[in-house]
Amino acid sequence: MINLIVIAISAVMFALPLVRWRWPAFRVWMEAPKYTMLRQERRFDEQVAERRVSSNLLVEGGHA
């Protein structure tokens, strides 16, 4: 049982860097989500910023 665990984990650990090294497209695909996440953040931030601008315009318009 222990041998099985050690072999399985070791195999996975060696396989992953190997795939990453041998397959550049995999590397790109693998790293893509961290940029997607930031892009999503930017989209949400822009939406909040737009809301704030429109809210400020409304307030200013009200005062005028």
Partner 1 sequence: MTTFAQHVMGQDEGPNARSSGALPSIEYDLIRAHILASLVTLVISVLFGITVATKFTFPEFLGGHAWLTWGRLRYNHTEGIFFGWLGNAFLAFFYYVVPRLADRPVLSRKLGWFLFWIWNFAVVLPGWVLVAAGFSQPLEWAEFPLVVAAFVVLAFILMVFEFVVPFLRARLPDLYVSAWYIIGGIIFTMLAYPVGNLVPELVPGARGAAFSGLWIHDAVGLYVTPFALAIAYYVIPATTRRAIFSHFLSMVGFWLLFFVYPLNGTHHYVYSAIPMAAQKGAIVASAYLGMDVILVVTNLLLSLRGSSGTASKDIPLRFVWFGVVAYLLVSLQGSVQALMPVNRFIHFTDWVIGHSHLAMIGFASFIALGGIAHLWQRIPGTRYNERMMNWSFWFLAVGLTLMVADLTIAGLVEAQLWQSSAPWIDSVRAVGSYWLVRTLSGVPILAGFVLFWTSLITGPGFSEASTSATSRVTSENVVAFESVSPASDELSSAGWLSHAHVIAFGAGVGFFALSFLVLAIVPGKELEDEIKQVAPVTMPTLTASEQRGRVIYGREGCAYCHTQQIRSLAADVRRFGTPIEPWETKYDYPQLWGTRRIGPDLSREFNLRPHDWQLTHLYDPRLVVRDSVMPPYPWLFDVGPGQPTQEGLDVLAYIQSLGRARQLSGFDRQTLASSVLPETPEMAMTSEPSARATPPGVPIAIMGGYSRSAPVMHPASDPDDLQGEVSRGAKLFAANCASCHGSAGRGDGKASASLLPKPANLTAALFSDERLSSVLWNGVAGSSMPPWRQLAAEDLRALVAYVHSLHAPTAAPSTPDAKTLNDGQSLFVANCASCHGGGGAGNGPAAGALAPPPTNFTLKKPTQERARDVLENGVPGTAMPPWRNQLSADQRRTLVEFVRSLYVPPQENSGQ
Closest distance of CB 29 from partner 1, Å: 4
Binding of residue 34 to partner 1 (CB under 8 A):
yes
The CA angle 55-38-31, to the nearest 5 degrees, is 170
Residues 6+ apart with CB under 8 A from 27: 20
Q: Which token pair is 23? A: 């397959």
Q: Which token pair is 36? A: 């997607």
Binding of residue 63 to partner 1 (CB under 8 A):
no
Binding of residue 64 to partner 1 (CB under 8 A):
no
Type of residue numbered 19: V
Closest distance of CB 64 from partner 1, Å: 18
Binding stretches for partner 1 (CB under 8 A): 1-2, 5-6, 8-9, 12-13, 16, 20, 24-49, 51-52
